[in-house]
Copies of this chain bind each other. A is one copy, B any other.
Amino acid sequence: MTRDDLTEKLLDIKRERGWTWAHICEAIGGMSPVLITAACLGDMRLPKAQCARAKELFALSDAEERLLHEPPLRGRSTAMPPTDPLIYRFYELVMVYGATWKELIQEEFGDGIMSAIDFDFTMERQPDPKGDRVRIAMSGKFLPYRYYGAQQGTPELGYRED
């Protein structure tokens, strides 16, 4: 059994019962709906407590419960470049604004990256008379490049010397 087999099974159950993601995320609970949905789609791991509730909700076997708890081989559910228009728009944002984000983040924080691992994401509807908007907020820890000395153990140089 692969993780793809499990994802197809979960989606089949969701469809047959007529469930929504809101229903599934509330039933599993205790965690961001983004992460629970991503785990059902095979892109995230569920913690143990959540696995137990998913097992009950979907009537899974022990092995299926364990599979939900394994860190999956991420990034396989979305072809790149994305063919689906909704997903592509995010890809386009990276392509059009990526260089700009780099300039502005590094001017503010110094040399480093925004973590995609220690990362939080929320999505909500923002009512607007001209047409409602998708409002997304992300927050990722800034990770500065470390400038270690040649000898291990040497105190690292401060990375914000400027």
Contacts and interface: CB of A to CB of B under 8 A. Distances in A.
Interface string A63-90: 1001101110111111111111111111
B134 A142 contact: yes
Contact of A120 (B38, B80, B152): B152
A51 B84 CA distance: 22
What range describes how many residues of A lie at the interface? 35 or more
Nearest to A120: B148
Interface of A: 1-2, 8, 12, 15-16, 18, 20-22, 25, 30-35, 37-38, 41, 43-45, 47-49, 62-63, 66-67, 69-71, 73-109, 111-123, 125-126, 128, 130-150, 152, 157, 159, 161-162
